[in-house]
Amino acid sequence: MSLFSGKAVSLWGIGMHVPERILTNQELEQMVDTSNEWILERTGIRERHIVAPEKQTSDLAVEAGRIALERAGLAPEELDMVIVATNSPDTIFPCTAAKVQGKLGAKKAGAFDVQSGCTGCVYALTVAVSGIAAGVWRHVLVIGAEALSRLINWQDRNTCVLFGDGAGACVLGPRREGDGRFIAASLRADGTKHDLISLPAGGSERPASKETLEEGAHFVHMKGNEVFKFVNRELPPFLQSFCESSGVEPGHVDWWIFHQANWRIMDGILRRFGVSPERAVVNLDRYGNTSAASVFLALCEALDDGRIRKGQKMVINSFGAGMTYGAILLEV
């Protein structure tokens, strides 16, 4: 079952924030043995934003959250829950969401983080929709925020060319007159592949030590090509069956908001469905892979520039460390 039941829930407002500093492929050419051509051809990325030294994930999250609240016409005090999806929390604990709740002044809200790789945003949205649909919460702020540049080994060309920093935020509430609604969601994982993307040290398995520092075990490690193959194998049948159980044909989905990791992955999936690549919202050329923030940045830009119009249906989907993956169908 993937259809939401209970109260209808809709997207009340969306916002995004990216740091000012832009790091281009040409700059990366000076840092590691890579080329603009390789990065563009293999991923589609041209540049990414990098968080300022004095800022952290919670700062990016607060900026995006403020914009989403303003657009939703909601005061922070009216929030019941703040959920932050992130893989680069300010600290392992307290959760980043609690800092965001405090900084926003969302005095009546609870707060928790969702850490589920890049799919965290889809997991967080699903939890938020379910909580509102069941009547437990009324207004929820869901934020995907990352300062992954802090966890990247800038000498490792396998990872440093891929990621960027930023935050996107969605305010969810009960459906109002004229609103669209969240229709269905499906969340999956294959934990037997947990070693494909990891940050090996700093947790209880391998606490920080001189050895872990020397090994660079506090940086993101990724078996990129194995991730690529996993996603290309698992995502198309998953999305096909998600669409079937949600009662929509892939060809009738107006927009595909894919996790912005690699243009070749998005293009490959749409080709298999016989859907025009123009149905995908793509902004990874300007932001890189912003992990749990990526689909919110894409959705926000496409709503802001009028590409996505009222009444249209879209599938948001993501995949990432775990390996986790998931999808949500909604109408705006």
From 130, 153, 158, 283, residue interacting with ligand ACO (rule: CB under 6 A): 158
Looking only at the bridges linking them, the beta strands covering 197-198 and 221-222 are: antiparallel
Nearest to 312 by CA among 329, 293, 327, 295: 329
Q: How many CB atoms lie within 10 A of CB 228?
A: 17
Q: How many residues bind ligand ACO (CB under 6 A)?
A: 21
118 catalytic per annotation: yes
Nearest CB to ligand ACO, comparing residues 28 and 104:
28
Residues 240, 244, 249, 250, Cα dihedral to 10°: -20
Nearer to ligand ACO, 245 or 283 (CB): 283
Task: Please say which residue, 291 or 317, places its beta carbon nearer to ligand ACO.
Answer: 291
Tokens at 264, concatenated: 């070749």
**Binding flag, residue 228, ligand ACO (CB under 6 A):** yes
Query: Segment contacting ligand ACO (CB under 6 A): 10-18, 125-133, 219-227, 241-249?
Result: 219-227
From the list 259, 262, 300, 317, the catalytic residue is 259
Name the minimum Å distance from CB 26 to ligand ACO: 13
Among left, alpha and beta (phi > 0; psi -120 to 50; other), residue 215 is: alpha
- Binding of residue 261 to ligand ACO (CB under 6 A): yes
CB of 98 to ligand ACO, least distance (A): 22
Query: Applying CB under 6 A, which part among 38-46, 61-69, 103-111, 297-305 lies near ligand ACO?
Result: 38-46
Least separation in angstroms between CB 197 and ligand ACO: 5
Residue 285 φ/ψ region, left for φ over 0, alpha for ψ in the -120 to 50 degree band, beta for the rest: alpha
Per rule CB under 6 A, is residue 227 in the interface with ligand ACO?
A: yes
Determine which one of 25, 262, 289, 317 is catalytic.
Answer: 289
Q: Which residues of 116-148 are buried (b: 16+ CB within 10 A; e: fewer)?
A: bbbbbbbbbbbbbbbbbbeeebbbbbbbbbbbb
- Tell me which residues in 84-143 interact with ligand ACO (CB under 6 A): 87, 117-118
161 touches ligand ACO (CB under 6 A): yes
Query: What is the nearest approach in angstroms of ligand ACO to the Cβ of residue 130?
Result: 23
In the chain the beta strands, taken as DSSP E runs, fall at 9-17, 22-24, 47-49, 81-85, 110-114, 140-146, 166-174, 181-189, 197-198, 221-222, 255-258, 313-320, 324-331
197 counts as binding ligand ACO under rule CB under 6 A: yes
State the pairing for strand pair 221-222/313-320. unpaired
Catalytic member of 118, 160, 243, 300: 118
Contact 101, 143 (CB under 8 A): no
Provide the 8-state DSSP code for 194. Answer: T
Q: By the criterion CB under 6 A, which residues form the site for ligand ACO?
A: 34, 38, 42-43, 87, 117-118, 157-158, 161, 197, 224-225, 227-228, 261-262, 289, 291, 320-321
- Active site residue ranges: 118, 259, 289
